[in-house]
Amino acid sequence: MSSDAVRNGVDVTALNSAREGITESPESGIAEYGVNVEWNGGTSAQARALPITLGGEKVDRDFSWKVDEPTQLLGKNSAPTPQEYLLSGVGACIMVGFAVGASAKGVKLDRLNVEIFGQLDLSGFLALNDTSPVELAEVRYVIHVSGDASEEEFRELEKKAVELSPNAMSIANKVRLSGDLTIS
């Protein structure tokens, strides 16, 4: 594979092939994700990635991670909080979009780092009053980048990375949440 085919660690040839394939067969671009979260007592849990279905094809995943709260929030401070995982998912999704977008446009990246922040009012979570929101008040990001693009090109890459980030747009557009309860 030539150096032009891989840019910033992204296989641009495979990216273009995937774009063509999804254009020709839109159902091949449908991705379904799942995670199983098993309670470990207290505020601790073990999460495990379930297989992804990508265009009807099952893709096995073998990843697990712990979730916990800091001691100040009744946890053991043994793992990141659910909010930290949520923020990392949004930040990583923006980063992926930025890196892929830069690679597709021929931009060489020297550095790419996304910091992401959110704030909770725990009065909402603890149902202490009706005026405190339960959700994060705002999610803010800062992208630190350097490479061979102009400021204008980097700003356009940022705009597209956020606009085309499934995770960022799920938060920004308040994705519908539904569920069930089974009792055993």
Q: Which residues pair with 102 in a beta bridge?
A: none
Domain spanning 81-184: CATH 3.30.300.20: yes
Please tell me the predicted confidence (pLDDT) of residue 76.
97
**Model confidence pLDDT, tens digit, residues 126-160:** 999 999 999 999 999 999 999 999 999 999 999 99
Q: Which residues pair with 112 in a beta bridge?
A: 145
CA 106 to chain centre: 24
The domains of the chain are located at 81-184
Q: Which two tokens stand for residue 60?
A: 């096995």
Please tell me the predicted confidence (pLDDT) of residue 179.
97
DSSP per residue over 63-88, as a string?
-EEEE---GGGTS-S-S--HHHHHHH
Q: What is the pTM of this model?
A: 0.92
Local confidence band at 3 (pLDDT 50, 70, 90 cut-offs): low
Give CA–CA dist 181/177, Å, rounded. 14
**Model confidence pLDDT, tens digit, residues 74-127:** 999 999 999 999 999 999 999 999 999 999 999 999 999 999 999 999 999 999
Query: Tokens 């910033």 — which residue?
Result: 8
Q: Is the pLDDT of residue 1 over 80?
A: no
Task: Kindly provide the b/e burial profile for residues 76-109, where b requires at least 16 CB atoms within 10 angstroms of the residue's own CB.
Answer: eeebbbeeeebbebbbebbbbbbbbbbbbeebeb
Contacts of 42 (CB under 8 A, 6+ apart): 68, 74, 75, 76
User: Of 2-11, 117-126, 140-149, 168-177, which range is least confident?
Assistant: 2-11
**Model confidence pLDDT, tens digit, residues 26-54:** 999 999 999 999 999 999 999 999 999 99
Q: What rounded mean pLDDT belongs to the chain? A: 95
- What region does 174 belong to: left with phi over 0, alpha with psi -120 to 50, or beta? left
